Structure 1
Amino acid sequence: MTDWTAADLPEMTGTRVVVTGANSGIGKEATRAFARVGADVTLACRSVDRGEEAVADIERTESRLPGEMQVQELDLADLDSVAAFADGWEGPLDILCNNAGVMAIPRTETHDGFETQFGVNHLGHFALTGRLLDALRASDGEARVVTQSSAVHERGDIDFDDLHGERSYDKWEAYAQSKLANVLFGYELQRRLDAAGIDDVTSAVCHPGWAATNLQRRGPEAEGSELKRLLMKAANGLFAQSAERGAWPMLYAAVADDVAGEYVGPGGFMNARGAPERQRSSERSYDEATAARLWEVSSDLTGVDYEFAGDDADTAATDESDTADSATADD
């Protein structure tokens, strides 16, 4: 385990950062930490009002905040919203933190007909990253994509025959699948960048350990279970680290050298808390055939086709259709 903390972030004046789901929890604390060292952070939030409340709270509680913060609407459950966010982005992008997520909720569907956990946690970020590749390539230095996963990915399996839980649904299995998809995506993105000879964009994956955030209460609230909400609150109080410390792996993965294709998480007790370190993810996460298949399915579902090119050509993500033709994989 390292002794790295957010205090070790370098000076980042002029660095442009996007953090999805930045209105609370880990995303909010990452935004705070980036802005403290001068980065200009865009809080990409489903609710602009809650994003503005987060900015106001950060500004109220920080004595010195050289970085600028702005809020832009982004609903990862709606591919049209993802497209609008990316189309509205101007200029280069240095760091993209794919942080937003939902956890262990009853089965619902996104605007485009995807199971919500798979649709928000994986497909929304897959589409967003592809659409922002031009902006990432335009960075003056090495741009970084950091995708937030979870230790729960170790329980996950990609069920290509029932990706959206239409035949059988378990909220924790669906969450684990979506988090495994995050790791597979992060690794496959790096492999495809390497294969195209692109060295000015790198991809890393992280997990926060057990951090006390709003994420844990949303599942019980969606079920209408006050008992489960109280039990989760008690567990957070006993075992979880703070959201501030839960943001450390993502911050480390965003700025550390030589983390391309790496998996970063807390190095303390049971990898649930502590300073960040490079770790090994589950065996399934290194299955390149599964990662390649998931990539193609994700491209088909979202209509976003990553067009990787070398340094002498443009890199872009093009829209094959306004929305995905189907909410289920053809496989």
Structure 2
Amino acid sequence: MADHTKTQNPNQGKNDKKAQRRRALDLPDLSGRIAVVTGANSGIGRAAAEALAGAGAHVVFAVRDPERGRAAAAAVPGSTEVRRLDLADLTSVREFAASWTGPLDLLVNNAGVMMLPELRTKDGFEMQFGTNHLGHFALTNLLLPYLTDRVVTVASGAHRMADGIDFDDLDLTGRYTPQRAYAQSKLANLLFTLELQRRLTESGSPVRALAAHPGWAATNLQGRVANPFARVAMTVGNRFLAQDDRAGAQPTLYAATRDLPGASYVGPSGLAEMRGVPTLVGRTAAASDPVTARRLWEASQELTGVRFAVGVGA
């Protein structure tokens, strides 16, 4: 009697996972849509910008170094342009927003700095909090009158390491560590998304605020951390554990194009959310606290001088 038992292909599991990753990158037709991606000259920002442009969107590379931005944009098939934006300088943020005219469909708050030595922005804020949170807070609110669809802010699993928001000393003076400051800034990203969505809903705006994190993605951020031992560890991790920047951009793209509820948080589906296809993921209780989110918003308004205003786009 013939044996009809199927022999399992040892590579089938790997092939299925690769197919899932390819499907996760399939984007809808974005022709006619306009997107701004901060930090689009490298890493997951560049990968996201390339995918959005490849799907038909006109993508604005909002970058600190226009020369590097133009080099990156030139390598991307599709409709792109480059505009200067330094998130560590509120004057630059205001100039970028003041130059904007017409509707904007998608804002991707991607740019960021990671585990730097103690530095200050041009406005005197701690660099990681000032760049990762306050710069994007100001940019989003200044562009909000033009937004028609959604804001996606790139957070991090590192928000789990934060011991809260230090409202008495947001600069962490006297107790600064690169890790503590980075974790606080990423917690702030999630609280910002939560409160932004609350305000959008309350105002009747159809615009949605979402957050995403890339898992462990091998980018140039890890090579800039202050601690040399951490740099070595991250280099090893990048080689053996991390996914590439295109895979790391998938949660951002998923949040940017799927029909998800406001305040959703997207990350990789794999072990410890380090890699895998994008899915909705959880966050800490601290990142879900509406009282803290509102307090952070009010503090950010005072520090930046920028306030919430829904307008023509919404």
Do residues 93 (structure 1) and 109 (structure 2) align?
Answer: no
Give the alignment of 1:128-147 within 5 angstroms. Answer: 128-136=139-147, 139=148, 143-147=149-153
Match runs of 1:1-331 below 5 Å = 3=20, 5-58=23-76, 65=77, 67-136=78-147, 139=148, 143-156=149-162, 157-199=164-206, 201-220=207-226, 225=228, 228-308=230-310, 314=311
* Counterpart Cα distance in 2 of 1:268 and 1:231: 21
Determine the C-alpha separation between the residues in 2 that align with 1:166 and 1:118.
Answer: 13
CA distance in 2, matches of 1:228, 1:160: 28
- Gaps in structure 2 of 5+ consecutive residues: 1-16
- Say what the alpha-carbon RMSD is for the aligned residues: 1.7
Partner of 1:323: none
Deviation at 1:230, TM superposition (A): 3.9
Aligned residues: 294
TM-score by length of 2: 0.90
Q: Which whole-Å deviations, capped at 9, do the CAs of 1:35-55 have from their partners, x for residues lacking one? A: 111110000000001111112
- Compared CA separation, residues 170 and 230, structure 1 to 2 (3 A): closer
Identity %: 50
Q: Is the 8 A contact 2:24 2:278 kept in 1?
A: no
Give the deviation of 1:315 after TM superposition: 6.5
Residues 181 and 315 (structure 1), Cα distance of their counterparts in 2 relative to 1, 3 Å cut: farther
Contact 2:24 2:277 (8 Å CA) reproduced: no
Check conservation: 1:79, 1:127, Cα contact below 8 A.
Answer: yes
Q: Distance in 1 between matches of 2:169 and 2:231?
A: 29
Match for 1:101: what amino acid?
G
Q: CA deviation at 1:134?
A: 1.1
Look up the match of 2:11.
Answer: none
CA contact (8 A) 2:210 2:263 kept: yes
Task: Give the distance between the partners of 2:50 and 2:219, measured in 1 at CA.
Answer: 15
CA-CA distance at 1:161 after TM superposition: 1.0
**Equivalent pair of 2:146/2:312 in contact (CA under 8 Å):** no
Deviations 1:87-130 (A, max 9, x none): 01121100000000001011100000000000000000000000
SS at match of 1:274: coil
Structure index of larger Rg: 2
TM-score by length of 1: 0.85
Q: Which residue in 2 is equivalent to 1:326?
A: none
Change (3 A) 1:7 1:178: closer
SS at match of 1:70: strand
- Per-residue deviation at 1:57? 3.0
Q: Which runs of 4+ in 1 moved over 4 A?
A: none
1:190–1:261 CA contact under 8 A, matched in 2: yes
Alpha-carbon distance between aligned partners in 1 of 2:119 and 2:312, rounded to the nearest angstrom: 34
Contact kept, 8 Å, 1:147 with 1:205, in 2: the verdict is yes
The CA deviation string for residues 8-55 of structure 1, in whole angstroms up to 9 with x for no partner, is: 200111110000001100000001101111110000000001111112
Structure 2 CA distance, aligned partners of 1:56 and 1:230? 32
Contact residue 115 and residue 179 of structure 2 kept, 8 A: yes
Give secondary structure in 2 for the equivalent of 1:306.
coil
Is contact 1:152-1:179 (8 Å) kept? yes
In 1, Cα distance between the equivalents of 2:307 and 2:203? 15
What is the CA distance between 1:6 and its match in structure 2? 4.9
Contact 1:6–1:33, Cα closer than 8 Å, also in 2:
no
Distance in 1 (alpha carbons) for counterparts of 2:230 and 2:297? 35
Residues 230-239 or 169-178, more deviating: 230-239
Deviation at 1:3? 3.8
SS at match of 1:307: coil
Question: Is the 1:118–1:175 Cα contact (8 Å) retained in structure 2?
Answer: yes
The letter for the 2-side match of 1:118 is F
Task: Report the Cα offset of residue 205 of structure 1.
Answer: 0.6
* C-alpha separation in 2, matches of 1:315 and 1:195: 17
